[in-house]
Amino acid sequence: MDHVTKVAQPIAHATAVGLDSSRLPRHVAIIMDGNGRWAKSRTWDRTRGHQQGAEVVRSITTESVKLGIARLTLYAFSSENWSRPPAEIDFLMELLDRFLKNELPTLQENDVRLEAIGSLQRLPLNVRKTLDRIINTTAQNKSMVLCLALSYGGRDELTDACRAIAREVQAGRIAPEEITPQTIQSHLYAPHAHDVDVVIRTAGEQRMSNFLPWEATYAEFISVAPLWPDFGIAAYHAALQEFQRRERRFGGV
Ligand code: IPE
Ligand code: IPE
Ligand code: MG
């Protein structure tokens, strides 16, 4: 089915919420932070923050489709997050598995293709299987790509790329002098993705935490105060309005 008939009028929607539809970011990346603090402030277990955070993933994903954003990358679990207590990791992996299964109808209705980046081989087998199934089922969807960064580390990604390129050099397929930024790009986890235009981080933090070092080299960074479970559509629109107020120069004058 033609995606235009499936998903309603992104230009009109963007304009209605105060955004310039001709200057929307193509690739939005979000560091979803503050789940633990959200729960702690209610004297609840951290896991309840993750649970509430999963609800916000759904609303921000569908809103991104409505706005006409081409790619949304969400930092869901970092390579460093493996150092958390096993009980929290187990909970997050179960939540992820359940979330993926539950979201399939929403992804289909919204014509969203799922992708994943990261050291996926470290994920539990059940999660990998579910992930593969949802990725395959949504492979033909065209309105937006939802890319989940899972067990993702930017240094791991660049290390993996270096290893793959070194193997090609060793095999004599490419000379060291022929390695260009394009060579590195083509060995990333999502080689065809457009550069990140904007990184949004919730919970007021102002660091990258090993997220997309290559892809977000020229991204605008926007830190917002709400904790991820409190991050609503209005706050999302405000962040995108802030992005549209920035002047992107890319080193020019
Ligand atoms: C983000 O929330 C979710 C993950 C990193 C998985 P946190 O769990 O980091 O929450 P805080 O930062 O401790 O509040
Ligand atoms: C970054 O958040 C990772 C994700 C949001 C998945 P963290 O909470 O793990 O980052 P730090 O520890 O504050 O840098
Ligand atoms: Mg955190």
Q: How many helices (H) and strands (E) does the chain have?
A: 9, 6
Average pLDDT of the residues of the chain? 96
Q: Which atom of ligand 2 is nearest to the CA of 205?
A: 13
Q: Which CATH superfamily is domain 25-244 in?
A: Decaprenyl diphosphate synthase-like (3.40.1180.10)
The Cα–Cα gap between 102 and 138 comes to 14
Q: What are the boundaries of each domain within the chain? A: 25-244
**pLDDT 10s digits, 64-123:** 999 999 999 999 999 999 999 999 999 999 999 999 999 999 999 999 999 999 999 999
Considering the entire predicted model, what is its pTM?
0.96
| Cβ partners under 8 Å of residue 18, min gap 6 | 237, 241
Which DSSP letter does residue 246 get? S
Which residue from 32, 73, 78 has its CB within 8 A of the most atoms of ligand 2, so it is best to mutate?
Answer: 78
**pLDDT 10s digits, 126-173:** 999 999 999 999 999 999 999 999 999 999 999 999 999 999 999 999
- Please state the rounded mean pLDDT for residues 214-240: 98
Using a 6 Å cutoff on CB, does residue 228 contact ligand 2?
A: no
Could you list the active site residues?
33, 81
